[in-house]
Amino acid sequence: MPLLSVLIFFPVLGGLSLLFLERKAETVRLVALVVSLFELLFVLPIFFLFDKGTHQMQFREQYDWISALNINYALGIDGISVLFVLLTALITVLCVLVSWESIQEKAKEFYMALLVLEGAMVGVFCALDFFLFYVFWEAMLIPMFLIIGVWGGPNRLYATIKFFLYTLVGSLLMLVGIILLYLAAGRSFDILFLAGQAYPFKLQVLVFWLFFAAFAVKVPMWPVHTWLPDAHTEAPTAGSVILAGVLIKMGAYGFLRFSLPILPQATQAMLTPMLVLSVIAIVYGALVCLAQTDMKRLVAYSSVSHMGFVTLGLFALNQQGLEGSILQMINHGLVTGALFLAIGMVYDRTHTREIAAYGGLANIMPLFAGFFMVFTLAAVGLPGTNGFIGEWLILLGAFRAQPLYAVIAATGLILGAWYMLWLYQRIFFGGVNEGLRQLAPLNLREILTLAPLVLLIFWIGVYPDALLDFLRVSVGHLVEQVHGAGLAEAGRTALMAIP
């Protein structure tokens, strides 16, 4: 059974089928929920049938698509992509749930866009043909553009155009890079084949920077991060969650899947600028967080900082760094997604995101305060939560590779604790703001939205091997690809040293 194709096209078709429904939010959202739940159900076989002992692509599918240009429809997942597919399916369900009440206008179009987006996102993680990957990568722009632009906040037009243009410029430059690789490799878009070829160093460097344009914008790395705060802030809650949860992971995924294995020499040569940019993002993002007055904007800038950790681990180019980086992407997706969900819930009640408008919320919504506490601590990286494992692995890897950067990055953790706890203090403690007295407690739907995230946060925090087992072999193979066989041996010994 072509499982991955089902995962891609089921939500797309489900989304398009909404076209034929009546124009009532109640019906539409129910269908959307059912579709996204079924998608989550279809993902389960992957979770259980995935063979963790090999770095080979699994669940492969391959058909001719455009033979004139040797383009195939090729799908498959390995340890690096499998978790993202799972994450996408989970996050989409939560997005449908959180939009339940807040999206009333043009609900049909909204859920259509959301489900089509889900299909495209799964496609990005499954594609094994570079052209196919690019199609999914760009196709995501359309629904996301609409989600921010139609259902977003007051400044949504500015934010959505900015988001679209930044991403488009990056993607199109990547397209040129793809074409250069395609021609250099003798007209092939097969990602696995491309990774096995040797390219001249100059071409590698050129392509590396062309890819960098696309991936760095998506991550987002400093200094091309400026679209993110606007897009995050103006997007509706579901949009922010998707952006933080899945979309920005694609940049780092792109580095992992393309830049590292296909352009190993260029990656090695460009390490210093990449690490410097990562560290700047960590510290700069954290410092900017301290100055924010808008909750969503604060969390958005904290994403810049956290994604700095992800790229730092990535360009440490060793087993721990890469594992930590991938795990941290999942963690960040869950935790930041959770924070946006929580902020969305309180925003639905108060219609303000100004931190100053809150205070003493713990007295009014105690359960909500509890949830938010868990998410805050996970974002800070408290041991026992998933955030700790990811950051710890990244710092370990970075320290082995480049101690100086690891030390600077570690200051980001301190700043992170500062801005997150300070945010928590300003919202939940202190005198109760009079405007908040009438707020309703969390309803069952909202609790059901947040509860799975709390479970996952602790589950990964206590037993990270549940996810790390998926990655280990594939990451080991990736390290080999980047360093060549000799260094990989060292990587594997280092791996054994990890408790």
Partner 1 sequence: MIEQLVVLNPAAFSWGMITPVLPELVLLAIGVALIVLDLFAPRQRQLLPWMTVLGVSAVLLVNLGMYTPAEPGAMLRNDAYSAFFCTLCLASVILAALMREFYSTQVQSHQGEFYSLLVFSAVGMMIMVASVDLITIYLGLELMALPIYVLTGMHKKDLRTSEAAAKYFLMGVFASAFLLFGMSLLFGLTGTTNVAEIGAYIGRNNLADNASLVMALALLIAGLCFKVAVVPFHMWTPDVYEGAPTVLTAFMSVGPKAAGFAVFGRIMLAVFPELHANWGPVLALLAVLTMLVGNITALVQSSLKRMLAYSAIAHAGYALLGIAAGSASGMAAAMSYLFIYLFMNMGAFAILIIFSQGVEQGESIDSCRGMASRNPVLALCMLIFMFSLTGIPPTGGFTGKFYLFQSAVAAGYTAAVIAAVLLSAMSAFFYLRVIRLMYMSGPEQQPAITAPSVGMLVVLGIAVAGVLATGLVPGALFDWAQRAMLP
| Interface with partner 1 in residues 25-84 (CB under 8 A) | 65-69
- Quote the Cα angle for 494-334-366, to 5°: 125
Closest CA to 140 of 172, 109, 169, 164: 164
> Least distance in Å: CB of 95 to partner 1?
20
> Least distance in Å: CB of 92 to partner 1?
20
Supply 109's token pair. 């179009």
| Binding test (CB under 8 A) with partner 1, winner from 33, 57, 142, 382 | 142
Residue 460 sits in the site that holds partner 1 (CB under 8 A): no
Indicate the residue among 156 and 477 with the shorter CB distance to partner 1.
156
For helices 227-234 and 156-184, the axis angle rounded to 10 degrees is 130
Indicate the residue among 72 and 92 with the shorter CB distance to partner 1.
72
Indicate the residue among 162 and 353 with the shorter CB distance to partner 1.
162
> Least distance in Å: CB of 179 to partner 1?
5
Binding mask 467-496 for partner 1 (x = CB under 8 A): ------------------------------
Residue 21 sits in the site that holds partner 1 (CB under 8 A): no
> Least distance in Å: CB of 374 to partner 1?
36
Q: Which residue stretch of 32-40, 140-148, 220-228, 419-427 sits at the interface with partner 1 (rule: CB under 8 A)?
A: 140-148
Indicate the residue among 150 and 357 with the shorter CB distance to partner 1.
150
How many other CB atoms are found less than 10 A from the CB of residue 254? Answer: 23
> Least distance in Å: CB of 429 to partner 1?
39
> Least distance in Å: CB of 17 to partner 1?
15
| Interface with partner 1 in residues 77-136 (CB under 8 A) | 106, 109, 131, 134-136
Residues contacting partner 1: total by CB under 8 A = 35
Indicate the residue among 131 and 215 with the shorter CB distance to partner 1.
131
Residue 205 sits in the site that holds partner 1 (CB under 8 A): no
> Least distance in Å: CB of 67 to partner 1?
6
| Binding test (CB under 8 A) with partner 1, winner from 100, 125, 130, 182 | 182
Indicate the residue among 112 and 307 with the shorter CB distance to partner 1.
112
> Least distance in Å: CB of 18 to partner 1?
12
Handedness of CA 148, 154, 158, 163 (dihedral sign): negative
Indicate the residue among 59 and 131 with the shorter CB distance to partner 1.
131
Residues facing 75 on adjacent strands: 61, 127
Residue 200 sits in the site that holds partner 1 (CB under 8 A): no
- Quote the Cα angle for 425-226-252, to 5°: 90
Cα separation of 302 and 418, whole Å?
A: 11
How far does Cα 58 stand from its chain's mean position?
Answer: 22
- Taking a C-beta distance cutoff of 8 angstroms, is the pair 87, 456 a contact? no
> Least distance in Å: CB of 106 to partner 1?
8
Indicate the residue among 176 and 417 with the shorter CB distance to partner 1.
176
> Least distance in Å: CB of 161 to partner 1?
6
Cα separation of 117 and 38, whole Å?
A: 16
Residue 190 sits in the site that holds partner 1 (CB under 8 A): no
Binding mask 296-315 for partner 1 (x = CB under 8 A): --------------------
How many other CB atoms are found less than 10 A from the CB of residue 135? Answer: 18
| Interface with partner 1 in residues 148-177 (CB under 8 A) | 149-150, 156-157, 160-161, 164-165, 168-169, 172-173, 175-176
Indicate the residue among 121 and 454 with the shorter CB distance to partner 1.
121
> Least distance in Å: CB of 187 to partner 1?
9
Residue 195 sits in the site that holds partner 1 (CB under 8 A): no
Residues binding partner 1 (CB under 8 A): 65-69, 106, 109, 131, 134-136, 138-139, 141-142, 145-146, 149-150, 156-157, 160-161, 164-165, 168-169, 172-173, 175-176, 179-180, 182-183
